[in-house]
Amino acid sequence: MFGLYEMAFSGLTWGNILMLCIGGGLIYLGVAKKMEPVLLVPIGIGIMMVNIPLAGLMVYAPAEPGAIPLPASGGLKEIAEGKIGLLNLLYQYGLESAVIPLLIFLGIGALSDFSPAIARPLSFMFGATAQLGVFIVFLIAYLTGWFTINEAICVGIIGGSDGPPTVYLTVAKAPQLLGPITLVAYSYMALVPILQPPVIRLLTSKKERQIYMKPQMREVSRLEKVIFPIAVFVVSALLVPASAPLIGMLMFGNLLSVTGVTDRLAASAGGLFVDVLTFLLGLTVGALMPAAVFLNPKTLIIIGLAVVAFAFGTAGGIWGAKIANLFLKEKINPLIGAAGVSAIPMAARVAQVQGQKANPRNFLLMHAMGPNMAGAIATSVVAGIFMSMV
C-alpha cells in the first residue's frame, strides 16, 4: 500500500500542484463569489482530475519538446486497455466534433430575447463595432509571430466574449489551444464587471454617461419575433456560409421560443438539456489543462492578449455609439454600446450600473440588451468569416 502512495506522489510535479491550486481557485470563485459557477466549478474539477498523477481520466498523446500535447484518441477498447481515459471520449465526441458548443448555442437561442435588438436595429451596429477587439488582437497575435494564423484567429475571437463561437472556432483551427483559450474566455467573461468599468470611464465623460434614455421601448410584434430568426439565418448563411452552423443553431433555438406553439421544445432546449451540455463542456475543458498545457508561454500570452481584446471590444462599442450620436437628434447613452461585446447579460448589467451611478434616473438595461444580443450574432458571423478565410 505504501508503495502505491509513493508511486502516486512521485509523479506529482510542482506544475501539477500549481494546477490543483488553480482548479481549487476556480471552484472558490464559482462557489464563494458566484462568478459563472455553472462553468467555473466543472472546469475547476476537470483541472484537478487531469493533474492527479496516474488517475488516467485524460491521457495525452506524445508531443514534440515544447509543443502543446493533444488528447489521445480511441474508443471503449482503448479505455479497457488503459490507453485512454473516459474524458478522452468526451473530448472526441463532444468537443472535437463541435457537437457540444453547437447544441449549447441551441439552448442559448431558446433562452434569448432579441426584442430589444429588433426594436432598435441600430443595436447591430454596436454589436459589429464591438468586434474591434477581435481583429486587433488577431493582428497582434499573428504579426508579432507569437502564433500561427490559425492560432491567432482563435486568440482574437476571445474578444467577442461568447463561449460557443470561441470553442467552435478553436476546435476547428487550433485544438491544441482549446484548453487555455476556453478557460481564459469564460473566466474573463465572468470578470466583465471588473474589466469594463475602467475602459468605460476612460472613454466617456460623466455628461455622456448621464444621457437619459426613456425606459420604454417600442413593443415588438409576434410576427417580427418569428420572422427575425429566419431572416438572420438566411442572410448570414448566404453572406457567410461558414457561420451557418452557429447562427443556425442560435436562431433555431430562438424560433422555438417565439412561435408560441413549440414552448415544450424551447423549455427543454433551454433547461436541463443545456445544463447537461454546460457541465460536460466545463469538465472536458478543465481536463484539457494539464500542467504541460497551461504552463506554456503561449498560454501566458493568451491571458494578456485577452485583456487587450476585451478592452478594445468595449472601446469599439462605445465609439460606435458616439459615431451614431453625431447623426441622431435624440442622443443615446454610449454605455449601451459597451454591451456589444456580448457576454450576455453581464455586459448589459455593467451598462446599467454605470449609467445609474452617473444619473439615478437612468434605466439602461433593456436598451443595453439590444447590442448585447446583437454582439452574439456578430461574433458568430466573425467566427464564420475566420473559418472560411483561414
pLDDT, one tens digit per residue, over 297-351 is: 888 899 899 999 999 999 999 999 999 999 998 899 999 999 988 878 788 889 9
Domain that holds residue 159: 98-211+218-389
pLDDT at 65: 67
Highest mean pLDDT among 77-81, 159-163, 181-185, 252-256: 252-256
* Count of structural domains within the chain: 1
Q: What is the mean pLDDT of residues 186-193?
A: 78
Judging by beta carbons within 10 Å of its beta carbon (0-12, 13-18, 19+), is residue 356 exposed, middle or buried? Answer: middle
Bridge partners for 60 per DSSP: 71
Q: Largest alpha-carbon pair distance within the chain?
A: 79
Contact 196, 343 (CB under 8 A): no
CA angle, 292 then 298 then 301, to 5°: 130
34 found inside a domain: no
Query: pLDDT-derived band of residue 66, with 50, 70 and 90 as boundaries?
Result: low
Q: Give the integer Cα–Cα distance in Å for 71 and 184.
A: 19
- Beta-carbon contacts of 295 under 8 Å, excluding residues fewer than 6 positions away, are 15, 18, 19
45 found inside a domain: no
Q: What is the mean pLDDT of residues 190-216?
A: 88
382 found inside a domain: yes
Q: What is the mean pLDDT of residues 117-133?
A: 93
Is the entire prediction scored with pTM above 0.75? yes
157 found inside a domain: yes
CB atoms within 10 A of CB 206: 10
44 found inside a domain: no
Position 121 pLDDT exceeds 50: yes
Q: Computed from CA positions of residues 241, 111, 285, 157, in that sequence, does the dihedral angle turn out positive or negative? A: positive
pLDDT at 2: 39
Least confident of 15-19, 90-94, 272-276: 90-94
Position 74 pLDDT exceeds 50: yes
Cell numbers that stand for 216 in this block:
420604454
55 found inside a domain: no
CB atoms within 10 A of CB 197: 16
- Beta-carbon contacts of 9 under 8 Å, excluding residues fewer than 6 positions away, are 53
Q: What is the mean pLDDT of residues 273-285?
A: 88
Q: What is the mean pLDDT of residues 110-129?
A: 92
32 found inside a domain: no
* pLDDT averaged over every residue in the chain: 88
pLDDT at 4: 40
How long is the chain? 390
Position 138 pLDDT exceeds 90: yes
Tell me how far the alpha carbon of residue 350 is from its chain's centroid: 17
282 found inside a domain: yes
Q: What percent of the chain lies above the pLDDT cut of 90?
A: 53
